[in-house]
Amino acid sequence: MDANQDGKQNREQRPEGVKAVIPAIPAAGRIGSTLLEVKNLCVSYGAITALQEISLTVRAGEIVTLIGSNGAGKTTTLKTISGVLKPRSGQILYASENIAALPPHRIVQRRLSQVPEGRMIFANLTVLENLKMGAYLQRDKALITRELEYVFEIFPRLKERSKQVAGTLSGGEQQMLAIGRALMSKPRFLMLDEPSLGIAPLLVKTIFEKIVEINQQHGITILLVEQNANLALQIAHSAYVLETGRITLQGPSVELRNNPQVKSAYLGG
């Protein structure tokens, strides 16, 4: 199935009621060549094996989601790609370079950023100070100002609250801040770990709309880890199912949404 068909099917098969809330995912031939290729990745915590030979591919311009239940290894996958954890074996090819041995800041320099689970904002700093932390590798003040304007354009709420102490923001606003902070490093590839966690349903919709906007209008490739498989499969082009450290299913999201195993395990029947 080519990218055009894929996008068209996703739009047409989106369940009623969601259309109005979440914009259509990109259909156009914007999907490019492979940007990230994870090959036979094995990761352990001491004697505990968390990932066993997982492989996945993300093409430029795509939203790819990784779904799975608690403890499946989703966070471990993202942390290993972002350099926080080192694999026991396997390759992580980003723009054709094996980044598996690079430290996190070198990976951020290559424009691959992660929004961590639980947001990890600096609660005692203001919104503006938190955002500036996201540009810690940037020395050029004019570029930082430009990035701030770009983030405020995507999240006007953060501009309104720029002087507010981050710890007093609502959960949804803190998630916006965490995404905004990652955007300050000007990523080409953004990984999001459970952006819906602990957020009121209305703001979850806003956050997912923003994820689509970041992908569609700003051309940022996205790898999305989500327990809310229903929402994730609505906005993603393709998906992987992770179970106890192994990839058990993969394919276009529209196919996985209709897969009986996925339906009963992750979509409430």
List residues binding ligand ATP (CB under 6 A).
Answer: 45, 48, 50, 68, 70-76, 227
**Is the Cβ of residue 56 or residue 72 nearer to ligand ATP in the bound state?**
72
Please report how close the Cβ of residue 220 comes to ligand ATP at its closest, in angstroms: 22
**Is the Cβ of residue 30 or residue 246 nearer to ligand ATP in the bound state?**
246
Q: Cα separation of 210 and 202, whole Å?
A: 13
- Output the CA torsion sign for 14, 187, 199, 132: negative
The residues pairing with 241 across neighbouring beta strands, listed in sequence order, are 67, 249
Q: Cα separation of 100 and 121, whole Å?
A: 26
**Is the Cβ of residue 10 or residue 65 nearer to ligand ATP in the bound state?**
65
- Output the CA torsion sign for 77, 81, 86, 92: positive
Helices (H), the chain: 3-13, 74-81, 104-109, 127-133, 141-154, 156-160, 171-183, 201-216, 229-235, 253-257, 260-266
**Is the Cβ of residue 50 or residue 178 nearer to ligand ATP in the bound state?**
50
Please report how close the Cβ of residue 72 comes to ligand ATP at its closest, in angstroms: 4
**Is the Cβ of residue 89 or residue 217 nearer to ligand ATP in the bound state?**
89
Cβ atoms 216, 26 nearer than 8 A? yes
Please report how close the Cβ of residue 225 comes to ligand ATP at its closest, in angstroms: 7
Indicate the burial class of 42 (C-beta count within 10 angstroms; 0-12, 13-18, 19 or more): middle
Q: Let me know the angle formed at the C-alpha of 33 by 29 and 37, rounded to the nearest 5 degrees.
A: 135
β-pair type (112-115, 189-193): parallel
Please report how close the Cβ of residue 157 comes to ligand ATP at its closest, in angstroms: 27
Cβ atoms 199, 186 nearer than 8 A? no
Please report how close the Cβ of residue 66 comes to ligand ATP at its closest, in angstroms: 9
Please report how close the Cβ of residue 111 comes to ligand ATP at its closest, in angstroms: 24
**Is the Cβ of residue 68 or residue 134 nearer to ligand ATP in the bound state?**
68
